[in-house]
Amino acid sequence: MDKLIIEGGARLKGEVTISGAKNAVLPILAATLLTDEPCVIKGVPNLRDTNSMLKILRALGKVAEFDKGRVNVCAGKVTNYIAEYKLVSTMRASFCVLGPLLGKLKKAKVSYPGGCVIGARPVDLHLKGITALGADINIESGYVVATAKKLRGAYVYLGGAYGSSVLATDNVMMAAVLASGKTIIESAACEPEVVDLAEFLIKMGAKIKGHGTPNIEIEGVKHLHGAVHTVISDRIEAGTMILASLITGGDILIKNVQYQHLGALIDKLSEAGVHISRTDGTLHVKGSRRLKAVNITTLPYPGFPTDMQAQMMSLMAVSNGISVITEKIYPDRFVHVAELNRMGAHIQKEGPHAIVEGIKSLSGAPVMASDLRASAGLVLAGLVARGKTSISRIYHLERGYEFIEEKLINLGAKVWREKE
């Protein structure tokens, strides 16, 4: 197993191109189960999670080829309805094969999901939505077993304790496109990745309206055909690169960015004293001084994304003043606090809040990544810290950031791998 070593202090300069969105491509790949015809997905990032989803598709009978950012899913029927534990346990998003399997075959057996360890993150909303469409659900030996003689359109409310659920919205939407009649999803997730999935389904022949709003309306169709689709760019990678430039006092031109997906982050950075210039699909981010501390509250889109919370905490750790970061999506998503404090940060956790007292500099230290976004936060901290930072369990990083080392090295960072 590798660890990532970062020699801090380098100002990042140059150009970087943002990859396709991980959280869009995974459900889009799952949606190819809904048709027997070929599909082509472009702009696909080469990630651990992408390859895990492709393994699941192949195990279910699909022939899928991946080369240079392009996935070709060949014509052919789904021959297996069981998504086994050894595959599904590697990432949470794999649970979104439940909806398309049930929609296509009227039966599915899917293991409870794995992935990052961030609190309970239950699948109750998924099962509630699928049940509303007429499926019978049983839990057997760690598997969700869903069957239905016929799926029927229904009113589905997906509001949860911490807001809407992206994957539950994806799952219900994919099950509903082949159901008979109309489905209305209320309190649906509005994230750009949900919209991208809906756009792909529409290209396949689905009838969907209202995606991108809390109320999605789906009129079921009898069958879906193949389609060609290019995945949106990854707003979380874009946000991470923006903060990388700011935290190092860098000067980076960030390409392939969909600015409209970054509103909450850009707004908070503006409050902190940052000016970001933009042209079509490109952002110019220049960091020159310590930023003003700002308070952050994570919320469902279009609010501040929970997937940027750890990275923003690293930036606030070296900003001027005190910041209160409130986590309303996953209240337990603060494992990285202890690791940042090992690097000299002054952060105190109080329930769903983290109180960050900004200091002038961090010190390199051995730290451990607990999840995908925490690992990105630790990378940012390592880039600005004095001395060397060693980050173990970087397989988390590989789940969501394509070619992250190469991109950072090309910007002037001193980053390399060593064996644990």
Q: Is 335 exposed, middle or buried (0-12, 13-18, 19+ CB in 10 A)?
A: middle
Q: Catalytic residue numbers?
A: 116
Residue ranges covered by each domain of the chain: 2-19+234-419, 22-230
User: What architecture is the 2-19+234-419 domain classified under in CATH?
Assistant: Alpha-beta prism (3.65)
Q: Residue 404: what pLDDT? A: 95
More confident residue, 10 or 112: 10
Identify the pLDDT of residue 118: 41
Six-digit token string for 281 = 């699909």
Percent of the chain predicted with pLDDT > 70: 98
In CATH terms, are 2-19+234-419 and 22-230 the same topology?
yes
- What's the rounded mean pLDDT across residues 230-255? 98
Dist. CA 401–CA 335, nearest whole Å: 20
* Contact by Cβ (8 Å): 197, 169: no
The pLDDT tens digits of the residues spanning 349-379 come to 999 999 999 999 999 999 999 899 999 999 9
**Exposed/middle/buried for residue 297 (C-beta within 10 Å: 0-12, 13-18, 19+):** middle
pLDDT at 381: 98
pLDDT band at 331 (very low <50, low <70, confident <90, very high): confident
For domain 22-230, give the CATH number: 3.65.10.10
- Supply the pLDDT for residue 123: 86
3-state secondary structure the chain: CEEEEEECCCCCEEEEECCECHHHHHHHHHHHHHCCCCEEEECCCCCHHHHHHHHHHHHCCCCEEEECCEEEECCCCCCCCEECHHHHCCCHHHHHHHHHHHHHHCEEEEECCCCCCCCCCCCHHHHHHHHHCCCEEEEECCEEEEECCCCECCEEECCECCECCHHHHHHHHHHHCCCECEEEEECCCCCHHHHHHHHHHHHCCCEEECECECEEEEECCCCCCCCEEECCECHHHHHHHHHHHHHCCCEEEEECCCHHHHHHHHHHHHHCCCCEEEECCEEEEECCCCCECCCEEECCCCCECHHHHHHHHHHHHCCECEEEEECCCCCCCCCHHHHHHHCCCEEEEECCEEEEECCCCCECCEEECCCHHHHHHHHHHHHHCECEEEEECCHHHHCCCCCHHHHHHHCCCEEEEEEC
Angle CA(229)–CA(232)–CA(238) in degrees, nearest 5?
A: 160
10-19, 73-82, 162-171, range with the lowest pLDDT: 162-171
At 253-273, the pLDDT tens digits run 999 999 999 999 999 999 999
CA distance 413 to 416: 9
Rounded Cα distance between 144 and 136, Å, is 10
**pLDDT over 50 at 117, yes or no:** no
Tokens of 198: 């809906």
The pLDDT of residue 91: 85
Mean pLDDT of the chain, nearest integer: 95
Amino acid 114: pLDDT: 59
**230 vs 124 pLDDT, higher one:** 230
pLDDT tens digit sequence for 290-327: 999 999 999 999 999 999 999 999 999 999 999 999 99
In Å, how far from its chain's centre is CA 371? Answer: 12
Matching residue, tokens 């999901």: 113
Whole-structure pTM value: 0.96
Residue 212 has pLDDT above 50, yes or no: yes
